[in-house]
Structure 1
């Protein structure tokens, strides 16, 4: 491979000069060692350091904007609107397998601006897009609230907690996607705000939305204070509070005898009777009549 004659890297007032070897200079003095760098054999070329050599960067600077963020020891910059600075990891054959990329615009001018940092990994080696780097996780910039997205990814929490925390209402939404990654909610799991003493507030709600993404009502609600569950009401006043004019038990069941298996409070029906289990394995019934 071709030997690189001179490489200059300036950072924090110190410089690294490589001329078939390595020379570090700084306030604490200088040291030198033999370190030959070569042209990279990977597509696109570049500088290749010897295998197993390490780069050690350190700083005592703060992250201060008006001083130029001097603590950023590595800065990747794009100088064209569709350029994509990246850090990539390749396998023993030199094929890229993973990458961290940040960029402003998509390669395709017809696509919306990306404006995000993405973590990318290759697709299946036996699939339609084998070996292609694909965005799995993206974090947008130039926005007050970042809509973090995953693509073709499952999210597993192993032996831990998946937590949604905050002081206001906390939602987990189920939505449909549209143009330019716009989302329209269909359902949401929500705990409302307003926690007070006595276990009040932060009640659980299952919210349903219309086709335009506007909330309709709370289909199911549960009180944190009392444990009451409401159907069609967000303020249940009994253990089961149904805001409707009917409750349906679809399947009929006829206890064989007054001592048929059952738990206190079980209710069943057939075409002649309604049956109520009043104690363990103890049933009573009332006759149904037409009018």
Structure 2
């Protein structure tokens, strides 16, 4: 029996209320291994005999003009709020996980969802015990899909979390404020910028971007040059290891070295009410007196 004939026979059997046959392949021949029966789960449906398997295969390609003939399973909604799903149940028949795709929410007052969602149950001793909850959603009808997670932590174990992009594209990791309707407004971004890579480790410099209340970029208060390692505060072209575009630098706490040979590293600076101290060699301090004017 060919595949098309098998499908027609099973559908015909179900339509007239007769249990269809489940088939397995043995030595190139199809043999009956059991019969479909009514499912005991809520809502009923056909149940494949226990431990029997369904084997689907194709030599077709995923080509739109040919009707996507390689999709061996098709789930279709025929009303605007229907939600075709594949679900996983535990030994007692309770839902534990599901993959769902749909356009509109159950509640007509909610915005359209237009997404595929991966759902798992909430904690059995929590507020929404055993309720299936969307953990990951991937929207459709968008040129750039805004993929979201909910009540989930994302861990990369023994691997790499990578943000890549082609030349001329910012590569951002963004922190945002979330509002109703899945609207997000950026607050901070860590960015590998669009500066051209010209060799010698130049280009793709690292920036911290800050945003206004309405989500518009204000400036980049910190930039690290990839080629030199120079850090710019308030500028993007630092000429020294620390280049500050302001008229003062603040050291909040005072410190008085115990003596001119107190422990210290070259370049350390400190102050107190009477002096400014500079460590000019290992464990060697010099000072200059402060005066009013």
Q: Which residue of 2 is the match for residue 46 of structure 1?
A: 45
Partner of 1:132: 131
1:15 match: 6
Does structure 2 conserve the Cα–Cα contact (< 8 Å) formed by 1:190 and 1:207? yes
How much has 1:198 moved relative to structure 2? 1.4
Do 1:265 and 1:278's aligned partners in 2 also have CA atoms closer than 8 Å?
yes
Go from structure 1 to structure 2 and tell me whether the alpha carbon gap of 1:190 and 1:44 turns closer, same or farther (over 3 Å shift).
same
More helix by share: 2
2:227 matched to which residue of 1? Answer: 225
Deviation at 1:34, TM superposition (A): 3.1
The equivalent residue for 1:208 is 210
SS at match of 1:77: coil
Paired residues for 1:249-264 under 5 Å: 249-264=251-266
Q: Distance in 2 between matches of 1:243 and 1:267?
A: 20
Task: Please state how far the C-alpha of 1:234 moved relative to its aligned partner.
Answer: 1.6
Query: How far apart in 1 are the matches of 2:184 and 2:21?
Result: 53
Corresponding residue number in structure 2 for 1:185: 186
SS at match of 1:283: strand
Which residue of 1 is the match for residue 70 of structure 2? 71
Q: Distance in 1 between matches of 2:202 and 2:2?
A: 56
Is the partner of 2:263 in helix, strand or coil?
Answer: coil
Aligned residue for 1:101? 100
CA distance in 2, matches of 1:82, 1:11: 36
Alpha carbons 1:101, 1:119 under 8 Å: kept: yes
Q: Which residue of 1 aligns with 2:111?
A: 112
Match for residue 248 of structure 1?
A: 250
1:68–1:25 distance in 2 versus 1, CA, 3 Å: farther
**What does residue 7 of structure 1 align with?**
none
Aligned counterparts of 2:2 and 2:170: Cα–Cα separation in 1 = 46
Please give the TM-score of this superposition, normalised by the length of structure 1.
Answer: 0.92
The answer to whether the 8 A contact 1:12-1:70 is kept is no
Report the Cα distance in structure 1 between the residues aligned to 2:41 and 2:230, rounded to whole angstroms.
65
Provide closer, same or farther for how the CA distance between residues 11 and 210 of structure 1 changes in structure 2, counting only shifts above 3 A. Answer: farther
What is the CA-CA distance between 1:23 and the residue it aligns to? 6.4
Unaligned residue ranges in structure 2 (runs of 5+)? 11-17
Instruction: Please identify, of 258-267 and 176-185, the stretch whose mean Cα deviation from structure 2 is larger.
Output: 176-185
Determine the structure 2 residue equivalent to 1:60: 59
Aligned to 1:35: 34
**Secondary structure in 2 matching 1:13:** helix
CA distance in 1, matches of 2:110, 2:128: 20
Counterpart secondary structure, 2:173: strand
SS at match of 2:34: coil
Take 2:2 and 2:75, find their aligned partners in 1: how far apart are those partners?
13
C-alpha displacement at 1:21, in angstroms?
6.1
Asked whether the 8 Å contact 1:84–1:102 carries over to 2, the reply is yes
How many residue pairs were aligned? Answer: 281
Tell whether the 8 Å contact from 1:91 to 1:97 is kept in structure 2 after alignment. Answer: yes
